[in-house]
Each structure stands twice: as structure tokens, then as C-alpha cells.
């Protein structure tokens, strides 16, 4: 996931900006996010893991996205935070989501 954010850094930034100004792009991003939530629900059920609230799953997705973008953009490094620390946090928060 982090490599995806690195590879598509400029495109992702442009898409976020376009989403703020174009209703069709915004609707498409929301539809994509809905599919992500549905996929998470399906995967958790397949593991017989309790499915957290949609708010909790969305928060997890947004946190992971923001942290990956911070690393990809070099912001974390500029703030003295090592990539390994971010990856460890992402791993821990994902495991927490799966263990509920």
C-alpha cells in the first residue's frame, strides 16, 4: 500500500483536489470508499472476526491513507519520524481492528 502511495503520489494529490471541485469525481471517490468498506466487511466475516462499526472501519482506512501519504510525501521524515515507526503503527492498528 505504501509503495502505491509513493508511485501515484502526484496523481493522488490531483485526484483529492479534483474531488473537492468536481461533483462527479467526488461521487466516484465516495463509491470507491463504499466498496472498500464492503470489502473489509466481507473479509472480516470470512475470518469469523467481529465486524466493527462502519465509522471504525472508515477511520482505519483514513488513518492508513493519511499516514501512507505522509511517508510518500516525505513529511514524516521531515518531522523526524522514521518510516519503520509509521509501518509499525499501521500494523498495530490493523491488528487491533482484526482482533475486536
The predicted-structure confidence for 15-27, as pLDDT tens digits, reads as follows 999 999 999 999 9
Residue 47 φ/ψ, nearest 5 degrees = -90, 0
How far is CA 14 from each of CA 4, 10, 75, rounded to the nearest angstrom? 15, 6, 18
pLDDT value at residue 64: 93
The predicted-structure confidence for 31-74, as pLDDT tens digits, reads as follows 999 999 999 999 999 999 899 999 999 999 999 999 999 999 99
Give the helix ranges, DSSP H, for 1-100.
2-7, 9-21, 23-46, 54-73, 75-78, 83-99
The structural domain count of the chain equals: 1
Torsion of CA 43, 45, 49, 50, to 10 degrees: 120
Domain, as residue range, for 68: 2-99
In which band, very low, low, confident or very high, does the pLDDT at 14 lie, cut at 50, 70 and 90?
A: very high
- Residue holding cell 502511495? 5
In which band, very low, low, confident or very high, does the pLDDT at 100 lie, cut at 50, 70 and 90?
A: low
pLDDT value at residue 5: 87
Say if CB 1 and CB 68 are below 8 A apart: yes
Amino acid at each position: 500500500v505504501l509503495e502505491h502511495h509513493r508511485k501515484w503520489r502526484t496523481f493522488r494529490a490531483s485526484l483529492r483536489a479534483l474531488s473537492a471541485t468536481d461533483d462527479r469525481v467526488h461521487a466516484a471517490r465516495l463509491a470507491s470508499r463504499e466498496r472498500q468498506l464492503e470489502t473489509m466487511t466481507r473479509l472480516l466475516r470470512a475470518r469469523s472476526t467481529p465486524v466493527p462499526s462502519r465509522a471504525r472501519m472508515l477511520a482505519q482506512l483514513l488513518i492508513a491513507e493519511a499516514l501512507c501519504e505522509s511517508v510518500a510525501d516525505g513529511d514524516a521524515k521531515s518531522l523526524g519520524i522514521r518510516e519503520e515507526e509509521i509501518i509499525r503503527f499501521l500494523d498495530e492498528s490493523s491488528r487491533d481492528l482484526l482482533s475486536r
